[in-house]
Structure 1
Amino acid sequence: MGLTSNKVLALAVLLAVALFVATIWLWPRLAGRGWRSVLGRVGLLLVTQVLLFASVGFAANKSFLFYGSWGDLFGQETEMGVVVDHSAGGKDIKVLGTQAVDVPGGSTPRVGGQIQKIVVAGRKSMMDSPGYVYLPPEYFQPKYAKKTFPASVVLTGYPGTAENLLEGLRYPKTAYTQVKTGKMQPMILVMMRPTVAPPRDTECADVPGGPQTETFFAEDLPRAISGSYRVGTQPRNWGFMGNSTGGYCALKIAMHHPDTFAASAGLSAYYRAADDATTGDLFGGSKALRHRSDLLWSLDHAKPGALARSSFLVTSSKSGEGNLRNTLKFINRVPAPARVSSITLDSGGHNFNTWRREIPPALAWISGRLRG
């Protein structure tokens, strides 16, 4: 049973409840002052407490995916990093493996689609990063053999991993269901984390003298994907979305690169780059770069017509999110004829449960603004 499986969580909860009942039942028998009675009471309390904490830990890990496997939890992961050749003739995409989508018939690509684990080599940024590509069932069907598909980059928050997008946020399964119910067109998803220089939080910026994260996502990644999969190279072919830090990155990169991305969605996004111990100095003392990282400032100073063909989606909640005020400012400052849409929940915190409520309509929205 996998660390994040429902069976492990259910077993831990069942054992915790059983030990609690056993403690109540056996306590009168262990009421004596002898060492056996004392050890019995201590043992029951200790085991019950351990199982209660384990249940809470399993539940939290299932929701936020701090650890993806037992080996990861106990520090036994030994898989080495992959060296990607950046020299002339080296491939921009290296496929490390494939896996089925958790849908009916998912083991057959033309029925359930396929998830490919990849490493992307950035030719211009000279950086590489792992990720996953979801290919819809239609990608493998004969009648779509000559069709190009729209694609969207999907980023998790910081310090999340790309696996969060597969398991915790269920992007492939949701996209499959949305297509099956006629709410969106088949779309390729490129799922990654927002930093290509872990553990540093680069806020998807080109750091002076440091990681060129914006260049990686805005130039290297679309070029590599279009060169390896049936995805077009026009803005109408590309979207960008994410949650939290990933949402900020999606809005920022689409805003600064409208010639690459036609639509972007920021779920629970913030609108100014973080500045803390995890980011370090992102701007090298440059006031211009600092301003550029502020999305509200960028909207106020956008060149006339630069965002004319851009579409933005932002999300928040009336209770539970801290970004509602700036989200409303963002909506009001998007210059026409650019389009802006929003999702505002009555209640929802900055967590996976909230994003799972926003992802289905967000996927349908971004799909509706892209073309194959």
Structure 2
Amino acid sequence: MALFQCDFFSEKLGFSTGMSVILPQPSLAEVASRKEGTDYKYPVLYLLHGLSDDHTAWTRYTSIERYASSKGIAVVMPGVHRSFYADMEQGSRYWSFVSEELPLVARSFFPLSARREDNFVAGLSMGGYGAFKLGLHHPERFAAAASLSGALDVASRLQHPAFPYTDAGEFERLYGSVEKLKAGPSNLFNLLTSAAELPPEDQPRFYQCCGTEDHLYEDNLRFKAAMEESGLPLTYDEEPGMHEWGYWDRNIQRVLDWLPLSR
């Protein structure tokens, strides 16, 4: 595998940002066997970070590079700060960046497949929310989405006194108001019906896991129940565990095993 730290200018954000990218490294024999003039494109997992992390966190705290090596899959890890993958009410357009600009930029720099069946998204905590948001908003782009300890009930979670928002105005800068969040497209519960109305072959597969001692466990149970009621294809796993990297390191391996890789 090869690891790239890529710094680039984002037109959606209006400033320079970064992403970490893992690419399979073919052997010399594999390169020689490919027909001249053909471009090989790798399947890709967009892997999203949590609230207090950045685009380097997954490579620093897990063995994602080693795990992806046996799968022949590229991994793109963008940085979005504390944005909750939103076009902020008062701030930058992180949703537009991650949903529209990032895939185009990443494919322009690296040999990544644009085929739906080769595109997947996963994340932890805030990134688990972002992964399901991408899968539900864009089922035409992603074959599967996975949430590890996801903050899936954002409206309830952001009002919880134990949530680690140190600035009292941070929520308002993100969403404006609780009412606006609950009624809008950033509330994952509002997206389930339209996704469930798609033909089964057009619905992404979903994977959800959470530790039973995690402070987001009850949120995950609520969303699991809503997913099951919608009829969307969901694989759910739980086990003893807290909101920490040891749990995510174990479970990202399960996500990679679960992905419907077509080659």
TM-score grouping bracket, smaller chain normalisation: 0.7 to 0.9
Q: Residue deviations 1:135-176, cap 9 Å, x none?
A: 112387414574211111112212112222112112112222
Name the SS of the counterpart of 1:186 in structure 2: coil
Contact 1:152 1:189 in 2 (8 A): yes
2:121 corresponds to 1:228: no
Which position in structure 2 is the counterpart of 1:186? 72
Q: Which has the higher strand share?
A: 2
Contact 2:90 2:173 in 1 (8 A): no
Unaligned runs of 5+ in 2: 160-164
Using the TM superposition, give the Cα deviation of residue 123 of structure 1 relative to its aligned residue in structure 2, in angstroms: 3.3
Q: CA RMSD for the aligned pairs?
A: 2.6
Name the SS of the counterpart of 1:137 in structure 2: coil
What does residue range 118-267 of structure 1 map to in structure 2 within 5 Å?
A: 118-138=6-26, 141-142=30-31, 143=33, 146-176=39-69, 179=70, 185-195=71-81, 201-267=82-148
CA spacing shift, 1:341–1:165, aligned 2, 3 Å: same
2:237 corresponds to 1:349: no
Question: Which of 130, 150, 173 does residue 269 from structure 1 map onto?
Answer: 150
Using the TM superposition, give the Cα deviation of residue 189 of structure 1 relative to its aligned residue in structure 2, in angstroms: 0.3
Which position in structure 2 is the counterpart of 1:312? 206
Contact 1:120 1:130 in 2 (8 A): yes
What does residue range 274-353 of structure 1 map to in structure 2 within 5 Å?
A: 274=158, 276=165, 277=167, 278-285=170-177, 287-291=179-183, 292-300=185-193, 304-305=197-198, 308-318=202-212, 320-334=213-227, 335-336=230-231, 338-345=232-239, 347-353=240-246
Structure 1 CA distance for aligned equivalents of residues 13 and 60 of structure 2: 29
Using the TM superposition, give the Cα deviation of residue 262 of structure 1 relative to its aligned residue in structure 2, in angstroms: 2.2
Using the TM superposition, give the Cα deviation of residue 301 of structure 1 relative to its aligned residue in structure 2, in angstroms: 6.1
Q: Residue deviations 1:336-370, cap 9 Å, x none?
A: 3x32112211x11100111111111112212x2x4
Computing the radius of gyration from Cα coordinates, the structure with the larger value is 1
Q: Residue deviations 1:71-110, cap 9 Å, x none?
A: xxxxxxxxxxxxxxxxxxxxxxxxxxxxxxxxxxxxxxxx
Q: Residue deviations 1:282-314, cap 9 Å, x none?
A: 223484544322222332565721884211111
Using the TM superposition, give the Cα deviation of residue 208 of structure 1 relative to its aligned residue in structure 2, in angstroms: 3.1
Name the SS of the counterpart of 1:296 in structure 2: helix
CA spacing shift, 1:286–1:317, aligned 2, 3 Å: closer
Structure 2 CA distance for aligned equivalents of residues 127 and 333 of structure 1: 38
Contact 1:194 1:246 in 2 (8 A): no
Structure 2 CA distance for aligned equivalents of residues 328 and 139 of structure 1: 44
Question: Which of 241, 252, 256 does residue 359 from structure 1 map onto?
Answer: 252
Aligned residue pairs, count: 243
Name the SS of the counterpart of 1:233 in structure 2: coil
Q: Which amino acid aligns with 1:299?
A: L
Contact 2:85 2:95 in 1 (8 A): yes
Which structure's relative contact order is higher, taking Cα pairs within 8 Å and 6+ residues apart? 2
Using the TM superposition, give the Cα deviation of residue 214 of structure 1 relative to its aligned residue in structure 2, in angstroms: 0.7
Q: Which runs of 4+ in 1 moved over 6 A?
A: none
Using the TM superposition, give the Cα deviation of residue 247 of structure 1 relative to its aligned residue in structure 2, in angstroms: 1.2
Residue identity (%): 21
What does residue range 8-157 of structure 1 map to in structure 2 within 5 Å?
A: 113-138=1-26, 141-142=30-31, 143=33, 146-157=39-50
With normalisation by structure 1, the TM-score equals 0.59
Q: Which amino acid aligns with 1:149?
A: Y
CA spacing shift, 1:122–1:289, aligned 2, 3 Å: farther
Q: Which amino acid aligns with 1:204?
A: Y
Moved more, 298-307 or 152-161: 298-307
Which position in structure 1 is the counterpart of 2:162? none
Using the TM superposition, give the Cα deviation of residue 322 of structure 1 relative to its aligned residue in structure 2, in angstroms: 2.7
Q: Residue deviations 1:249-299, cap 9 Å, x none?
A: 111122112222221111110113336424442223484544322222332
